[in-house]
């Protein structure tokens, strides 16, 4: 399999050059086009967006000042509408105005090159950005494998159904209600899928046991949060998600596990996620219980707060959401289909990864 790995490592970087002036496109293309780069040209912002939708690029080099859709607007569309936070966007500009450069960076540009530029500078900037993109893509593949493994854990348990998909959706809804920033929303959403990945290390005889667990078996089961933390801790991209995985079973009064953290010692995102995890368990039917009504769920959360088990401020925000917009917490059918497709894609990724490792 070494040949396959070498082919991937030596694949050309795919670059999109965007400029409304043909001479400028030709100049950038001549600098970049080689055995190292494969260049495609776009004549304006609209053409660029169409190309990005159709092809996968390692990097985009675009002019700031273009008619109709400017370089800044292209950046905004790529980041927000196309949801591509990691695609490198290098802005080429003739301006030396710091405010304009700041505007480009705020729009989503990764870097900028001032005209006139040397071919050495442009080549170095593009090469560095493209290399970083490849590394990011490899990390993304590893994340996909983790997500697929987490789904496999869920699939083992016929009882939980679409538990992870529902939590993934509710995490975004509740996170926005809490005013979380982008990184926190991503972490909470990932937590929806990965929170129980540590159950990979729990024997099936315990994980799938039909009857109640013994105290010794519960001791083993409670290890899953620490095991999940161990599995995901090596990825820097999981920096904000790992605390959710480890601490979503802690309790406000310090009676939870694995570290018996108390109050605000428990990471904020773990406290928020815990509420969603409990809500999903209460609101869905299990073989051993019916689905509780909204009024019953509210009463249980209020009782938990009185016992000192949950963060009262976060529970208050969640219950207000539940009372006023309960439909927002429901997983839309189209999202369920999308996530099922994602699961199959991730499982294929595991197979591909295993073949390449072999």
Judge residue 125's burial from the number of C-beta atoms within 10 Å of its C-beta, 0-12 exposed, 13-18 middle, 19 or more buried.
buried
DSSP bridge pairs for 41: 17
Taking every pair of Cα atoms in the chain, the longest distance, rounded to a whole number of angstroms, is 75
Helix (H, G, I), strand (E, B) or coil at 296: helix
List the one residue out of 233, 250, 251, 249 whose CA is nearest residue 241.
233
Transcribe 122-179 into DSSP letters: HHHHHHHHHHHHHHHHHHHHHHHHHHHHHHHHHHH-TTTTTHHHHHHHHHHHHHHHTT
Query: Could you identify the residue written with the tokens 């053409």?
Result: 47
Question: What are the CA-CA distances from residue 106 to residues 17, 76, 82, 103, 125 (Å)?
Answer: 21, 9, 17, 5, 19
Indicate the SS3 state at residue 43.
coil
Both structure tokens of 27: 């100049």
Q: Which residues are catalytic?
A: 199
Residue 352, judged by CB atoms within 10 A of its CB (0-12, 13-18, 19+), counts as middle
**Do 40 and 52 form a contact (C-beta atoms < 8 A)?**
no
| CA-to-CA separations, 305 to 251, 282, 300, 302, 320, in angstroms, rounded | 11, 16, 9, 5, 15
Residues of the chain by 3-state class (helix, strand, coil), percent to 5: 65, 10, 30
Of 136, 133, 138, 126, give the one whose Cα is nearest residue 34: 126
Cα 262 to Cα 187, 195, 229: the distances in Å are 22, 20, 19
167/307 Cα distance (integer angstroms): 25
């Amino acid at each position: 399999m070494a040949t396959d790995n070498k082919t991937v490592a030596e694949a050309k970087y795919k670059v999109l050059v965007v400029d409304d002036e043909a001479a400028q496109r030709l100049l950038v293309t001549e600098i970049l086009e080689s055995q190292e780069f494969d260049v495609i040209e776009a004549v304006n912002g609209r053409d660029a967006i169409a190309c990005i939708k159709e092809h996968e690029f390692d990097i985009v080099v675009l002019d700031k000042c273009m008619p109709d859709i400017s370089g800044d607007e292209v950046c905004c569309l790529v980041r927000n509408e196309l949801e591509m936070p990691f695609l490198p966007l290098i802005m080429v500009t003739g301006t030396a105005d710091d405010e304009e450069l700041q505007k480009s960076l705020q729009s989503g540009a990764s870097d900028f090159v001032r005209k006139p530029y040397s071919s050495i500078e442009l080549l170095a900037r593009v090469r560095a950005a493209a290399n970083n993109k490849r590394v990011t893509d490899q990390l993304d593949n590893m994340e996909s494998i983790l997500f697929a493994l987490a789904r496999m854990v869920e699939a083992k348990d016929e009882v939980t159904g679409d538990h992870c998909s529902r939590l993934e959706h509710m995490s975004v809804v509740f996170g926005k209600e809490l005013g979380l920033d982008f990184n926190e929303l991503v972490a909470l959403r990932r937590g929806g899928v990965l929170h129980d990945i540590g159950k990979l290390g729990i024997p099936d005889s315990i994980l799938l046991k039909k009857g109640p667990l013994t105290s010794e078996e519960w001791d083993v089961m409670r290890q899953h949060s620490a095991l999940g933390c161990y599995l995901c801790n090596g990825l820097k991209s999981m920096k904000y998600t790992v605390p959710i995985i480890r601490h979503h079973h802690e309790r406000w009064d310090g009676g939870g596990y694995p570290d018996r953290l108390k109050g605000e010692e428990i990471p904020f995102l773990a406290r928020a996620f815990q509420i969603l995890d409990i809500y999903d368990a209460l609101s869905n039917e299990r073989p051993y219980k019916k689905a509780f009504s909204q009024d019953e769920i509210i009463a249980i959360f209020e009782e938990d707060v009185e016992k000192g088990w949950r963060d009262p401020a976060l529970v208050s925000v969640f219950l207000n959401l539940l009372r006023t917009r309960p439909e927002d917490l429901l997983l839309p059918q189209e999202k369920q289909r999308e996530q099922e497709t994602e699961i199959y894609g991730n499982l294929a990724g595991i197979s591909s990864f295993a073949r390449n490792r072999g």
